[in-house]
Amino acid sequence: MTLDTRVVAAARGVEVRLAVRAGQTLAVLGPNGSGKSTVLATIAGVLRPDDGRTDLDGDTLHDHATRTWVPPRQRGIGLVTQGADLFPAMSVLDNVAFGIRASGARARDARTQALDWLERVGLAGAAHRRPAELSGGQARRATLARTLAARPRALLLDEPFAGVDVEAASRLRTLVADVTRDVTTVIATHDALDAHLLAQEVAVLEHGAIAESGPTRTVLAHPRTDFAARMAGRFVLRGTAGSGTVSLPDGTTIAADTAAVSAGTPAAVALAAGEVHLAHPGERELGHERALRGGREPASPDSTPPGGAPGGDTTVPDVVAWLEPRGDVVRVQGTRTAVDVTPETAATLSPGSPFRVRLSDVPRAYAI
């Protein structure tokens, strides 16, 4: 089943075109309010857009131009949302049997099939419970079973791991990866991890429009836009390729692997906050900090990283924009870079403070 859709929802500021190849998974990556849910609800047919067209494997489900509109119950597109999806008045088993019965199966056969699905998602023991008695993770499993039991031609998962505790979300991810293997799937998520683990393709959504799209690894490792970089948990430094260097507009030179770019052309490097460290102030505290974190890099900033290039010598000056606590570290978000430091180090910084990040590795430059 190949899914091809164009959605225009003016009131929500959404204008998006997406395509998913048969059996593949596309991640729609964007923050809250970027229009992910609108796009998914439109594909499912529970929301009617102002304009657009949706085709599923040659069937036109919606075409504004020809006033074609297939109602959701005839689309065969499964939808799992981040809300409370299970029907609260019926048992978990009857929930899963609902779609099977709607397709005309007898109540008894539907229940037997539903029980198989509950077994597959590890919930057979909860068949006769009410949805209110399930945990968030269990409820999402049951919803997934219910949706798949209806044998959808395509599957839409809207933030399927939201509101589920970390451990349950991790198990749920494994389940989703398993059940979506051969199903044409669109997953809306704000978490780049979901895209990495579950999707071959990614479309980064910013304010209702696609900022960047393509194969997941390419987009997330070498983002072209700052927005996609932020969604991927990275920052991008843009400049001009030299021989083994990328020169930034302010004169900073970064040692880089320039095999993929030609000298003199625009090039960029993308880095994660975890791949750089703070060079100033407090070089000594930094070494201590990395030792504590069990960093694989040698503690001395003067050492030469594997590969022989002088990556350890590259530092990039920046100014603190804000400080963001993240568990046991503090993310120092600069105007163009980001770096994780200890709370003690963070205490010496405040918005406006100058700092430098030191690159631990020699990044690969890519054309922009």
Given 11, 65, 89, 259, the residue binding other proteins (CB under 8 A): 89
DSSP label of 29: E
With b for 16 or more beta-carbon neighbours within 10 A and e for fewer, the 20-51 pattern comes to beeebbbbbbbeeebbbbbbbbbbbbebebee
Binding segment toward other proteins, per CB under 8 A, in 1-9, 72-80, 283-291, 296-304: 72-80
Contact flag: residue 132 with other proteins (CB under 8 A): no
CA distances from 324 to 37, 189, 213, 218 (A): 27, 22, 28, 27
When asked if residue 75 is in the footprint of other proteins (CB under 8 A), the reply is yes
Which is closer to other proteins, CB of 99 or CB of 223?
99
Q: Which residue, 147 or 345, has its beta carbon nearer to other proteins?
A: 147
Cα–Cα distance, 261 to 239 (Å, whole number)? 12
In whole angstroms, what is the distance from residue 289 CA to residue 345 CA? 9
Sign of the Cα torsion 41, 118, 192, 26 reads: negative
For other proteins, the binding residues in 201-230 under the rule CB under 8 A are none
Nearer to other proteins, 45 or 301 (CB): 45
DSSP H or E stretch at residue 78:
strand 77-80
Closest contact distance (angstroms) between CB of 169 and other proteins is 21
Q: Is the CB of 143 or the CB of 342 nearer to other proteins?
A: 143
Of residues 74 and 304, the one with the C-beta less far from other proteins: 74
Task: Count interface residues toward other proteins (CB under 8 A).
Answer: 28
Distances, alpha carbon 219 to alpha carbons 109, 168, 177, 182, in Å: 45, 28, 20, 23
272 binds other proteins (CB under 8 A): no
Does residue 71 belong to the site contacting other proteins (CB under 8 A)? yes
Are 280 and 356 within 8 A, CB to CB?
A: yes
Q: Does 263 bind other proteins (CB under 8 A)?
A: no
Residue 122 beta carbon to other proteins: minimum distance, rounded to whole angstroms: 21
Q: Pull the structure tokens for residue 289.
A: 């900090």
Q: Which stretch binds other proteins (CB under 8 A): 30-38, 87-95, 117-125, 329-337?
A: 87-95
Looking at residue 72, what DSSP letter applies? G
Q: Pick the binder of other proteins from 17, 21, 46, 162 (CB under 8 A).
A: 46
100 contacts: CB under 8 Å, gap ≥ 6: 109, 110, 113, 114, 149, 150
Q: Which amino acid is at 142?
A: A
Instruction: Show the site string, 93-122: x = touches other proteins by CB under 8 A, - = not.
Output: -----xx--xx-------------------
Q: What is the H or E stretch that residue 96 is in?
A: helix 92-102
Contact mark string toward other proteins, 152..171, x via CB under 8 A: --------------------
Binding other proteins by CB under 8 A: which of 83, 125, 266, 325?
83
DSSP annotation of 364 reads B
Q: C-beta of 173: minimal distance to other proteins in Å?
A: 22
What letter would DSSP give residue 83? Answer: S
Collapsed DSSP state (helix, strand, coil) of residue 274: helix
Q: Does 133 bind other proteins (CB under 8 A)?
A: no
Q: Is 319 among the residues that bind other proteins (CB under 8 A)?
A: no
Strand partners, 326: 329
Residue pair 44/237 in contact (Cβ under 8 Å)? The answer is no
Q: Does 73 bind other proteins (CB under 8 A)?
A: yes
Whether a cis peptide bond, with omega within 30° of 0, leads into 281 is yes
Stretches 22-30, 55-63, 143-151, 162-170: which one binds other proteins (CB under 8 A)? 143-151
Q: How far is the CB of 174 from other proteins (least distance, A)?
A: 24
Shortest Cβ distance from residue 157 to other proteins (Å)?
A: 12
- Integer Cα distance of 287 and 29 in angstroms: 35
Stretch touching other proteins by CB under 8 A, among 20-28, 57-65, 83-91, 157-165: 83-91
Which lies closer to other proteins via its Cβ, residue 44 or residue 316? 44
Interface residues with other proteins (CB under 8 A)?
Answer: 41, 44-46, 71-79, 81, 83-85, 87-90, 98-99, 102-103, 146-147, 150
